[in-house]
Amino acid sequence: MKKLLLGIVAAAAIGLSATRADAKIAAVYASGEGGIESTGQGDPGLGFELGGRLLIFDGYLDYMGFGDDQAVSRAILGLRGGFGTPEFRLVLRGGAGAIHEQNGALTGSLMRADRTGGVARLGAGIEGRLNPLLWLGFNVDGETYKFDNDVPGAPSQGSDVLAAMKLMFEIGI
């Protein structure tokens, strides 16, 4: 019990004393990223993310292409918080939106399905400033999805984890 209370007090102290990292009221960003998903073929992918923030509200479009003409696209609206110093930040985000799978990128290449559905995502990342406009980061996002159009033999819902390294260009006020 003492360890639990000590842990709660330590977490509260860190959380209350942490400054907002590079606090911006509004920002737009674009990033190139490479990563791997826990489902599908397991091939590494290359992609991009385009987004904007207003206070803690975040919206973004992302695309990740894998080998064999497989890809996953998402449009997400949610919340985002960045904590740390002006040079280094921990980013937490969560949201929901739409997902599109091309050629079975999530469910495997045997299905070769192109499907659209809903998705909920939750993620965290560590980002370091390279210069006033560029950040380098490592993010892990978990998601759960459900596809609207059924493909015989393919699962209509599932979950996935995406680990990605990204180089982000960000401007804001």
Q: Which of 33-37, 65-69, 76-80, 151-155 has the weakest average pLDDT?
A: 151-155
Secondary structure element (H or E) that encloses residue 55, with its range: none
Mean pLDDT (whole number) for 121-126: 97
* Predicted TM-score of the model (pTM): 0.82
| 152 vs 27, residue with greater confidence | 27
Structure confidence by residue, pLDDT tens digits, 10-50: 555 555 455 545 668 899 999 999 998 888 667 899 999 99
- The listed range with the strongest mean pLDDT (4-8, 106-110, 130-134) is 130-134
Q: pLDDT-based confidence at 75, cuts 50/70/90?
A: very high
Phi, psi of 84 (to 5 degrees): 150, -140
pLDDT score recorded for residue 152: 73
Per-domain residue ranges of the chain = 2-172
- CATH 2.40.160.20, applies to 2-172: yes
Q: pLDDT-based confidence at 155, cuts 50/70/90?
A: confident
Burial zone of 49 (CB within 10 Å; 0-12 exposed, 13-18 middle, 19+ buried): buried
Cβ(47)–Cβ(37) below 8 Å = no
Q: Which residues contact 40 (CB under 8 A, 6 or more apart)?
A: 66, 70, 104, 105, 106, 107, 108, 109
Instruction: In whole angstroms, give the CA distance from residue 114 to residue 148.
Output: 11
pLDDT score recorded for residue 21: 52
CA 146 from chain centre, in angstroms, equals: 17
Q: Which residues contact 84 (CB under 8 A, 6 or more apart)?
A: 18, 19, 21, 90
| 26 vs 107, residue with greater confidence | 26
